[in-house]
Amino acid sequence: MKVDYIVVGLGLAGIAFCEQLLANNKSFVVIDSGHNTSSTVAGGLYNPVILKRFTPAWNAEMQLKTAIPYYKKLEHNLGIKLVYTTPVFRLFASVEEQNRWFEVSDKPGLDPFIAKQIHRNTNTHIEAPFGFGEVYQSGRVDTSLLIKAYKNKMIKEHTLIESPFEYEELIINKTIEYGNISASKIVFAEGYGLINNPYFNFLPLTGNKGELITIKAEQLNLDSIIKSGVFIIPDGDNQFRVGATYNPFDKTTTPTEEARTELLKKLNRFLKCDFKIVKHQAGIRPTTKDRKPLLGCHPEFENVFVLNGLGSRGVLIAPTVAVNLYDFIEKSIPLDKEISIERFL
């Protein structure tokens, strides 16, 4: 089999790069183990504001302009519903937090995204005596459904190999040889699995374990996202995703009792109705020390590339950085220093 590209990994980064290849009539095959990834267990939230510090997320405005049309196009092509535009309401814990919200509302970069007025609480099952601040241009993407549907599409098109990637079988010359596949280039978009990649394991991919629970709350009647100590995200059928934890030390994907206890403690501070836990999931976010993605070419092999390090904001970042990497490879457009792996070489 001869193709233009081999793509390793079918998470948010891998899918976004495949879409770039399709848009530019490039042939490709994807190799993916199908193992648990942060993309499949993520809450899917896209939010242009860092609500802990009341600051704009990195390049949020530009990324939104790319991301929303990208996911809408995927909806159309796959025949599924992916994007749920939903405001995020930041629950205030004090008058001081209210005042801080007013202070930052006119800051450059935040003005398009946050409402200047305070919203009073009208939900009897939410305790919020100081009200909420509203974040515009936010919502969620059903990442689990996206990956499942995209995977099924690729199986039908015979462009997916469901198998762990065997690095020792990779032969790199002027062309890339892997088993019976010959390609011009290879892109590694493996998420946290990159730490086992002998070509890019020199990169500082730290990894951060995140856990979330899904609850069923028949009485809650909530159609917006609330952020307090945790996010609570509507997921349909009176179910809500609650998360997430951050653990930089545990690198397993096994849900823990400690994280479950932490999530419930933070949830019970403001949720005042009966609920039951229906699911508990864990994944490792591919995070970096400087919280910026990892894009670029291997320092020795000019046809070996990496697309990684999307962290907890992969839904928002993936479509933009996929374009960046494609333009870097095919059009020789330099990568921004903030995202290029050159910053670590």
- Say how far apart CA 291 and CA 278 lie, in whole Å: 32
Q: What is the arrangement of strands in the sheet containing 139-141, beginning at the earlier edge strand?
A: 45-46, 139-141, 83-85
For 78, residues 6+ apart whose C-beta sits below 8 A from its C-beta are 146, 149, 150, 153
- Say how far apart CA 220 and CA 215 lie, in whole Å: 11
Phi, psi of 283 (to 5 degrees): -155, 165
User: Model-level pTM?
Assistant: 0.94
Per CATH, the homologous superfamily of domain 2-42+144-204+289-344 is: FAD/NAD(P)-binding domain (3.50.50.60)
For 115, residues 6+ apart whose C-beta sits below 8 A from its C-beta are 105, 133, 134, 135, 136
Reply yes or no: is the peptide bond before residue 244 cis, omega within 30 of 0: yes
CATH class of 87-137+208-285: alpha beta
Per-residue pLDDT of the chain (345 residues; tens, 9 = 90+): 999 999 999 999 999 999 999 999 999 999 998 776 677 677 799 999 988 878 888 899 999 999 999 999 999 999 999 999 999 999 999 999 999 898 888 787 788 899 988 999 999 999 999 999 999 999 999 999 999 999 999 999 999 999 999 999 999 999 999 999 999 999 999 999 999 999 999 999 999 999 999 999 999 999 999 999 999 999 989 999 999 999 999 999 999 999 999 999 999 999 999 999 999 999 999 999 899 999 999 999 999 999 999 998 999 999 999 999 999 999 999 999 999 999 998
The domain segmentation of the chain, as residue ranges, is 2-42+144-204+289-344, 87-137+208-285
3 state DSSP class of 79 = coil
Partners of 89 in the β-ladder: 134, 226
